[in-house]
Amino acid sequence: MEQERLTARDDVDAQTLASLEGTDTDELAELAKMDKATALDADQLEALGAQNSDELAKARQEAHQAEAQRQRVEDQREFREEVQDVMGESMDRIERTSESAMENMGGAAEAAAEDTADNVIVSGDGSDSTGGDTTIVQGGSSGPSDGEPEPETFVVCPLCSSREPAENDFCMDCGGDLADS
C-alpha cells in the first residue's frame, strides 16, 4: 500500500503538490525547475547554468568563438579546394585549345606550302633605280585547269618602270614601246 501511495505521489505534478497543505514552496519551485529541465537539451542546460556563473558564461563564450573559428577555417579550406578544381579545369581547357590551335596552324602552313609549290617568280630587268619589279605568277608550269582563267603576267616599262600586262604593246603611263621588254 505504501508503494502505491509513493508511486501515485511521483505522478502528481508540481501544481497539485503546491495545493496540499504543509508543503515547502521552495522545494516545489526546485521540483518545477527540475521538471522543466528534463525537456532541455545540453546547450540549453549549459545556458541555464551560465546565468549563475560568470566563469561558466565566459567558458561558454570562448567555446562558441572557437567553434566559429573552426567553421571559418573549414569554409576557407573548402573554398580553396573549389578554386583549385576550377583552375585545373581551366588549365585543361587552355591546353586543349592551344593544341587545337597549333594543329590548325600546322595544317594551314602545309596548305600554304602546297599552294605556292608551283608558283613562278618573274623578275624585272633591273635597268632602273628600283632594281626591277618582281612578279609572282601562280600556277607555274602546270597551266590552268578547266574553267580557271590563265594567270596574268606583267612586264616593266623600260622608260618609266611602270608595271604593265604582258599583252600590251605600249605603256599605259608614258606610251613607251613594250615590244622590246
C-beta atoms surrounding 159 within 10 Å: 14
Stretch 88-96: mean pLDDT: 94
Distances (CA, A) of 145 to 91, 148, 150: 48, 6, 9
Q: Write out the residue range of the structural domain in which residue 160 sits.
A: 120-165
CA atoms within 13 A on the CB side of 46: 12
Q: Residue 155, SS3? A: strand
Predicted pLDDT of residue 46: 72
| Residue 160 covered by a domain | yes
> Residue 98's pLDDT band (boundaries 50, 70, 90)?
very high
Residue-wise pLDDT tens digits, 34-48: 666 666 677 776 776
Which residue type is seen at 169? D
| Residue 173 covered by a domain | no
| Residue 14 covered by a domain | no
> Residue 71's pLDDT band (boundaries 50, 70, 90)?
very high
Supply 4's cell numbers: 502505491
Torsion, CA 14, CA 19, CA 20, CA 23, rounded to 10: 60
Could you tell me which residue, 17 or 101, shows the higher pLDDT?
101
DSSP 145: P
Q: How many domains does the chain have?
A: 1
Residues in the chain: 181
Stretch 77-84: mean pLDDT: 96
| Residue 59 covered by a domain | no
d(CA 19, CA 23) in angstroms, rounded, equals: 8
Q: Is the pLDDT of residue 140 over 50?
A: no
pTM of the model: 0.33
> Residue 22's pLDDT band (boundaries 50, 70, 90)?
low
Predicted pLDDT of residue 141: 47
| Residue 21 covered by a domain | no
Supply 137's cell numbers: 605568277
> First CA to last CA across the chain, in angstroms?
144
